[in-house]
């Protein structure tokens, strides 16, 4: 049921009643109406089609939250905007004069609108001329993006409309718990078909499945290799499709010959019979889809793991066929658009690579600068955070839309690196854990107080409309960036439509081409799929039907090999820790932990463990236990559950402390940290 908003300030009446917009949370970007008396779902947006989750129903509560920041803070004291911005600009100039352009870094977020992500990348490279920019999407989508690019020549989370899932006879979901993380997603599964879930826990999503593959944490890659071995050995490979549309099958076939099912069972714990049932279901289905999510991707081998599942999909002839395919369940609200427009270390707008000379020339022309003045690629997200305040690293950080004190791996170390900076500027709507460390905190508008576009997990560009006026004293990130740029000698637009028009020109001709997308088209068509190179182009809901986005139009299969977690269990740390989300909260919890209904539903972190493990270490339900890894420790009450393996514990990462434990070991291609598995020990038992 909808939850009514608290008494609204008078400014809410100045704007239209019942504004159609989108949820501030996950990549479904559910359509909703914002009204003075509450939130109601829209039924014209296919992703949610009239549904919302608990987070969506209560999203309006944050608009009138007493936790809102409404004035800039300098060393914790309220100051005026001019004083705050002048201070920041002066410090940036002095730091760069002493340490060079890379003495200043920028860190963005996967929840920023397309306009903000674009402007942040432009600000870093034009106003600051620094190479040191990356964003928290590196912690979310990087491995799937890297695997998609090398297989298909394009990274789009779902290269088909989400509604295609309802037509699939079989869906294999590896490492995803959509029933908790994005509940309206579940309605798209074909209730008459089969859902197969690979996950170390019996999650709410796994409980919906006809078949659950309960694998050992960190063994998703071995599972994918075993499934492909069975598919080839038992004649399910689509030879005609492979000959017509795929390169590299022979090398992959040879590489998986050693991954016979019994070997894979010993590594993963998944019975051979279940693997065979999975392959038979996929191989005999008229339409089938393979999906991956964070559980399979957040590993130091995440790119290879996703590649292995893509290889399986290609061997079965799924990608590029209507109603079938491979897709990645994007997590953050603008996780797709956020990685397309230049806030990644190696990227320029339109999903162009920053070292591509033609890409540099095109974007530089739009920006009115010399291509030679654009910096090259900088450090990836964890490497950037790890370098802060060191002799060779940045001395200042501008941070927008992220909370790394909670969300970064080995977070205790990252907190120390943030504290070592000469200048930390945080733009946020609340005083997050990271903002508590900041030299300057800038109060910014939030979702319903501003306009802009976001690109959901389907690649559908959506329009977020302003529904209420922001509190007095609050500015948008675009306004903040424009004001800082002006103080540094540059003129940037600060209104979303003007920024989007520039983004359209900057992305024209790129992989993620938005040139033909306008606010008017989005409003009229309830979203437009990229690539869309011209205003009379219909958009591209299914980009791989005729050819893949590779030079020769053929998909590429790449041999990969399983390897154990970077940190496996041993006598000192005998348990696997895996992390994830719970229904009531989102990401670092900076928003949801400030909504009373959600904190009542999930008030604190916990350690989920099997009763056998609890008995072995002398722990009862509710006892506070200490979980320790080689990087740190944290405490939380024990929650006993048959849904988890006896060799594994689970903790939700929405609270500070959990990521003190996680391993920052990086994927060599995507630079994704190994969030999803590390070795821990559990001690305790204090009632």
Task: Name the 3-class secondary structure at 190.
Answer: coil
Q: How many C-beta atoms surround the C-beta of residue 244 within 10 A?
A: 10
Sheet containing 170-174: give its strands across.
Answer: 211-213, 194-198, 170-174, 288-292, 325-328
What fold is seen in the domain 10-64?
A: N-terminal domain of TfIIb (2.20.25)
Give the CA-trace dihedral at 26, 412, 602, 599, to 10 degrees: -80
Quick one: pLDDT band at residue 142, thresholds 50, 70, 90? very high
Angle between helices 302-315 and 220-233 (to 10 degrees): 20
Q: How many CB atoms lie within 10 A of CB 189?
A: 21
Average pLDDT rounded to a whole number, residues 656-672? 97
Q: Which helix (H) or strand (E) holds 291?
A: strand 288-292
Residue 686: the pLDDT is: 53
pLDDT of residue 374: 98
Give the 3-state secondary structure of residue 461.
strand
Res. 684 pLDDT band, cuts 50 70 90: confident
Residue 132, pLDDT above cutoff 50:
yes
Helix, coil or strand: residue 686: strand
The candidate with the shortest Cα–Cα distance to 318, out of 281, 273, 268, is 281
Burial annotation 289-326 (CB, 10 A radius, 16+ → b, else e): bbbbbbbbbbbbbbbbbbbbbbbbbbbbbbbbbebbbb
Q: What is the percent of the chain where pLDDT is above 70?
A: 97
For residue 152, what are its two tokens?
Answer: 């298909």
- At 75-120, the pLDDT tens digits run 999 999 999 999 999 999 999 999 999 999 999 999 999 999 999 9
The domain segmentation of the chain, as residue ranges, is 10-64, 73-140+334-529, 158-329, 575-686
**Measured between alpha carbons, how far is 474 from 621 in angstroms, rounded to an integer?**
45
Residue 442 main-chain phi, psi, to 5 deg: -110, 120
Q: Could you tell me what percent of the chain has a pLDDT over 90?
A: 94
Residue with tokens 């080689």: 630
pLDDT, tens digit, 9 for 90 and up, residues 377-419: 999 999 999 999 999 999 999 999 999 999 999 999 999 999 9
CB of 443 closer than 8 Å to CB of 72? yes
Determine the pLDDT at residue 659. 97
pLDDT at 240: 98
Please determine, for residue 1, whether its predicted confidence score (pLDDT) is greater than 90.
no
Average pLDDT over residues 478-482: 98
- As a whole number of Å, the CA-based R_g of the chain is 24
Phi, psi of 272 (to 5 degrees): -55, -40
In the prediction, which pLDDT does 15 show?
45
CATH architecture of 158-329: 3-Layer(aba) Sandwich (3.40)
Q: What is the mean pLDDT of residues 533-555?
A: 97
Q: Is the pTM of this model over 0.85?
A: yes
Average pLDDT across the chain, whole number:
95
Give pLDDT tens digits for 287-324.
Answer: 999 999 999 999 999 999 999 999 999 999 999 999 99
Mean of the pLDDT values across residues 542-566?
Answer: 97
pLDDT band at 17 (very low <50, low <70, confident <90, very high): low
Distance CA 642, CA 397 (A): 44
Tell me 534's DSSP state: S
DSSP run (H or E) holding 33: strand 31-35
Mean pLDDT of 609-615: 97
Average pLDDT over residues 29-43: 92
| pLDDT at residue 342 tops 80 | yes
Please state, in angstroms and rounded to a whole number, the distance separating the CA atoms of residues 308 and 461.
29
CATH of domain 575-686: 2.40.40.20
Q: Containing H/E element for 617? A: helix 611-617
Looking at residue 685, what is its pLDDT? 58
Closest CA relative to residue 232, chosen from 190, 261, 200? 261
pLDDT over 60 at 145, yes or no: yes
Tell me the pLDDT band of 6, cut-offs 50, 70 and 90. Answer: very low
With a cut of 50, say whether residue 8 has pLDDT above it.
Answer: no
Q: How many residues does the chain have?
A: 687
The CA dihedral of 358, 360, 361, 363, to the nearest 10 degrees, is 120
For residue 7, name the pLDDT band (cuts at 50, 70, 90). Answer: very low
- The dihedral formed by the CA atoms of 195, 196, 197 and 202, expressed in degrees to the nearest 10: 80
Edge-to-edge strand order for the sheet containing 460-464? 452-455, 460-464, 528-529
The confidence score (pLDDT) of residue 13 equals 38
| DSSP for 375-443, written as a single string | ------HHHHHHHTTSTTS-SEEEEES--HHHHSTTHHHHHHHHHT-SEEEEEESB--TTGGG-SEEEE
For 363-368, which contacts have Cβ atoms below 8 Å and span 24 or more sequence positions? Answer: 363/506, 366/502, 366/505, 366/506, 367/122, 367/126, 367/506
Contacts of 516 (CB under 8 A, 6+ apart): 504, 528, 532, 533, 534, 535, 536, 537, 539
Q: Just give the CATH number of 73-140+334-529.
A: 3.40.50.740
Mean pLDDT of 202-227: 97
């Amino acid at each position: 049921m909808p939850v009514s908003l608290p008494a609204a300030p008078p400014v809410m009446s100045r704007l239209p009643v019942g504004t159609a917009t989108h949820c501030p949370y996950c990549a479904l970007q559910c359509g909703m109406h914002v009204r003075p008396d509450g939130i109601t779902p829209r039924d014209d947006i296919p992703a949610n089609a009239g549904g919302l989750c608990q987070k969506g129903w209560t999203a309006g509560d944050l608009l009138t939250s007493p936790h809102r920041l409404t004035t800039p803070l300098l060393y914790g004291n309220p100051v005026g905007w001019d004083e705050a911005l002048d201070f920041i600009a002066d410090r940036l100039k002095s730091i760069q004069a002493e340490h060079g352009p890379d003495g200043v870094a920028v860190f963005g977020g996967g929840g920023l609108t397309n306009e903000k992500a674009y402007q942040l990348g432009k600000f870093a490279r034009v106003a600051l001329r620094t190479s040191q920019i990356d964003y928290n999407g590196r912690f979310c989508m990087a491995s799937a993006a890297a695997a998609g690019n090398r297989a298909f020549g394009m990274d789009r989370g779902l290269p088909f409309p989400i509604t295609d899932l309802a037509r699939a006879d079989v869906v294999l979901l590896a490492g995803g718990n959509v029933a908790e993380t994005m509940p309206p997603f579940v309605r798209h599964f074909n209730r008459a078909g089969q859902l197969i879930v690979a996950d170390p826990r019996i999650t709410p999503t796994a409980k919906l499945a006809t078949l659950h593959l309960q694998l050992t944490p960190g063994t998703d890659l071995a599972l994918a290799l075993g499934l492909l071995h069975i598919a080839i050995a038992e004649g399910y490979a689509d030879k005609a499709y492979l000959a017509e549309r795929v390169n590299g099958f022979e090398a992959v076939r040879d590489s998986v010959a050693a991954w016979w099912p019994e070997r894979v069972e010993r590594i993963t714990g998944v019975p051979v019979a279940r693997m065979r049932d999975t392959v038979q279901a996929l191989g005999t289905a008229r339409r089938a889809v393979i999906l991956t999510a964070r559980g399979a991707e957040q590993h130091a081998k995440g790119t290879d793991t996703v590649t292995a599942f893509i290889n399986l999909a290609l061997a079965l002839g799924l990608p590029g066929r209507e109603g079938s395919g491979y897709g990645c369940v994007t997590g953050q609200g603008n996780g797709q658009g956020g990685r397309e427009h230049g806030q990644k270390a190696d990227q320029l707008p339109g999903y162009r690579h920053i070292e591509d000379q033609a890409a540099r020339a095109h974007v530089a022309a739009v920006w009115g600068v010399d291509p030679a003045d654009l910096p090259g690629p900088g450090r990836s997200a964890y490497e950037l955070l790890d370098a802060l305040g060191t002799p060779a690293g940045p001395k200042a950080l501008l941070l927008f839309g992220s909370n790394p004190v909670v969300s970064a791996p080995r977070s205790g170390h990252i907190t120390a690196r943030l504290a070592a900076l000469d200048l930390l500027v945080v733009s946020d709507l609340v005083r997050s854990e990271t903002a508590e460390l900041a030299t300057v905190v800038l109060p910014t508008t939030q979702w319903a107080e501003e306009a802009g576009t976001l690109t959901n997990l389907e690649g559908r560009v959506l329009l977020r409309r302003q529904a209420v006026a922001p509190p007095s004293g609050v500015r948008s990130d675009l306004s903040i960036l424009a004001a800082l740029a002006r103080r540094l000698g540059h003129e940037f637009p600060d209104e979303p439509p003007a920024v989007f028009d520039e983004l359209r020109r900057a992305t024209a001709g790129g992989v993620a081409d938005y040139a033909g997308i306008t606010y008017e088209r989005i409003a009229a068509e309830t979203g437009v799929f990229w690539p869309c190179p011209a205003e009379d182009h219909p958009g591209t809901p299914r980009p791989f039907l005729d050819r893949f986005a590779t030079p020769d139009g053929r998909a590429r299969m790449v041999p990969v090999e399983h390897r154990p977690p970077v940190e496996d269990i041993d006598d000192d740390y005998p348990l696997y820790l895996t992390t994830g989300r719970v229904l009531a909260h989102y990401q670092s919890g900076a928003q949801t932990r400030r909504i009373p209904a959600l904190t009542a539903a999930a008030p604190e972190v916990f350690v989920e463990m099997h009763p056998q493990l609890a008995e072995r270490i002398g722990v009862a339900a509710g006892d506070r236990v200490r979980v320790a890894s080689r990087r740190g420790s944290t405490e939380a009450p024990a929650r006993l559950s048959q849904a988890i393996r006896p060799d594994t514990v689970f903790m939700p990462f929405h609270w500070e402390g959990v990521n003190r434990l996680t391993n920052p070991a990086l994927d060599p291609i995507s630079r994704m940290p190994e969030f999803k598995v590390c070795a821990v020990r559990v001690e305790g038992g204090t009632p």
